[in-house]
Amino acid sequence: MDFPRYETLLTEMVSPHVLKLTMNRPEVGNALNTQMGHELLDVWNCLTVDAGDVRCVVYTGAGDRIFCAGGDLKERNGMTKQQWVRQHELFERMYWTLTDMPVPVIGAVNGHAYAGGFEMMLCCDFAYASSAARFALTEVTLGIMPGAGGTQNLPRAIGERRAKEILLTGQPITAAKALDWGIVNELCEPGQVLERALATANTIAGNAPLSVRQIKKSVRYGGQMELRTAFRFEIEAYNHLVETEDRYEGVRAFNEKRKPVFKGC
């Protein structure tokens, strides 16, 4: 899939079906400014409308110290209320599009994830992190509060009491605690997190893409329903796969003792 040349992002198809997306503002800790907001929204919109060959995304930050430091406070310094609200509405659309996007996104947290950067990681389907990373929602120390899902995604991931400790203190937690609390799936030695994430992305990309999308949708929306309704939702998602060519191919490949060739149809 071809993307335009972005000012703040790097896009690279690292294998036939895996896109590596890198926030590329290392000089400011990959902080999220208005331009990056527009560009990330464009990427997530493109992948939502027509993902082409992309079956999985690995999302990371440039450098080896910071995944994303959050919003660019230098850009925000001196903004009027109207300018601040307009920018935040852009960020809201970007975060929601990432959350709802059908293509799986793996966070490769190469360094610290603070504020909006932490919230972006929480919007990913799951994440691997450097053992040197730190995680914090620092908004309370700046007179604001998380406004990109932090007060909603974090409690759903780790429980209300642990989330309140992070949200109300604004203090960072270690990568080890993030792993123990279920914020990230695995820790890697510094410099190795991207390799680990790409390996998993290639495994996902080798599976039936329509199945992957239906699973993601079922988990995402079913988790917001009571159990019986969620089960019915799962069955509806399942039934959409029964007549797909990939389902026939999977059964054929199993019986012929070969690797299936999935086409996403």
Catalytic residue among 7, 119, 165, 236: 119
CA 230 to chain centre: 23
**Catalytic annotation present for 119:** yes
Q: Report the alpha-carbon distance of residue 106 to residue 114 in Å, rounded.
A: 17
Q: Find the catalytic residue in 139, 160, 226, 256.
A: 139
The overall longest dimension of the chain from CA atoms, in Å, is 66
Per-position b or e across 164-184, b if 16+ CB within 10 A of its CB: eebbeeeebbebeebbebebb
Task: Clarify whether 139 is annotated catalytic.
Answer: yes
Is there a contact between 68 and 30 (Cβ–Cβ < 8 Å)? yes
The first and second tokens of residue 134, run together, are 């730190």
SS3 13: strand
What letter represents residue 143's amino acid?
A: G
- Distance of alpha carbon 92 from alpha carbon 244, whole angstroms: 35
Active site residues: 119, 139
